[in-house]
């Protein structure tokens, strides 16, 4: 099946298309419509990964679309929150600022090292996606802003792990579940390099011997 035709990629693409709709709804103060579209967006984030694994449709393009969908949505949501729930945003400003700082740091670190958006999709990222998604639903449904105090420490730990993965890897990889997997990939890569050098050693000696 072509990469652009599979269902998982289409779900990720839909999430990208929902971002301008979220911004328009928030700008106009349409709380209920915004909450409905947000739930659809969060559901597509969960569904694309499940579909990719269930239907064996995981692709490099899908990983990139998923990551860009996450990034663009994450950039839009603070504006939406400011338009719809400025009170909660002001009350939890320090927690939110800390989460944004580490989120941006992990992205920038990946861009500096690999010149691209990293698409690790770690176990931690999947957990925080569920926790943070529930937090956003509570917030935009009119609930208390203190729920950010639960989500932000988990987000910071997740971003620290992604920074560590970027430090460990020598080349960009998609779908790296954890730092342990990154360390394993590095060991495998180093062992492969040693084997390759050893296989080339006799050929170099042939050129030297009379």
For the stretch 12-36, pLDDT in tens is: 888 999 999 999 999 999 999 999 9
Q: What confidence tier does 6 reach under pLDDT thresholds 50, 70, 90?
A: confident
Which helix (H) or strand (E) segment holds residue 150: the answer is: helix 148-168
State the helix-helix crossing angle for 7-27 and 60-84, rounded to 10 degrees.
10
Residue 3 has what pLDDT?
Answer: 44
Q: Looking at residues 75-94, what average pLDDT do you find?
A: 92
Structure pTM? Answer: 0.80
Report the sign of the C-alpha dihedral through residues 113, 115, 117, 123, in that order.
negative
What are the residues facing 174 on neighbouring strands?
119
Tell me phi and psi for residue 119, to 5 degrees.
-135, 60
CATH architecture of the domain with range 3-177: Up-down Bundle (1.20)
CA distance linking residue 154 with residue 118, whole number of Å: 19
Give 188-208 pLDDT, tens digit per residue: 888 877 777 777 766 555 454
């Amino acid at each position: 099946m072509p990469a652009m035709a599979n269902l998982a990629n289409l779900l990720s693409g839909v999430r990208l298309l929902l971002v301008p709709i979220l911004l328009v709804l928030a700008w106009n103060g349409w709380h209920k419509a915004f909450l409905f579209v947000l739930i659809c967006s969060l559901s597509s984030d969960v569904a694309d990964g499940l579909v990719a694994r269930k239907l064996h449709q995981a692709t490099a393009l899908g990983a990139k679309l998923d990551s860009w969908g996450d990034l663009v949505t994450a950039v839009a949501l603070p504006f939406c929150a400011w338009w719809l729930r400025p009170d909660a945003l002001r009350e939890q400003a320090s927690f939110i600022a800390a989460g944004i700082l580490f989120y941006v740091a992990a992205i920038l670190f990946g861009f500096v090292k690999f010149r691209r958006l990293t698409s690790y999709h770690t176990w931690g990222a999947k957990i925080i996606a569920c926790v943070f998604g529930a937090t956003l639903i509570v917030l935009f449904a009119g609930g208390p802003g203190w729920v950010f105090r639960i989500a932000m420490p988990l987000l910071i730990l997740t971003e620290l792990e992604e920074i560590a993965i970027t430090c460990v890897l020598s080349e960009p990889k998609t779908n790296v579940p954890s730092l342990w997997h990154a360390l394993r990939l590095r060991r495998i890569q180093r062992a492969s390099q040693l084997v390759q050098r050893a296989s080339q050693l006799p050929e170099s000696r042939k050129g030297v011997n009379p």
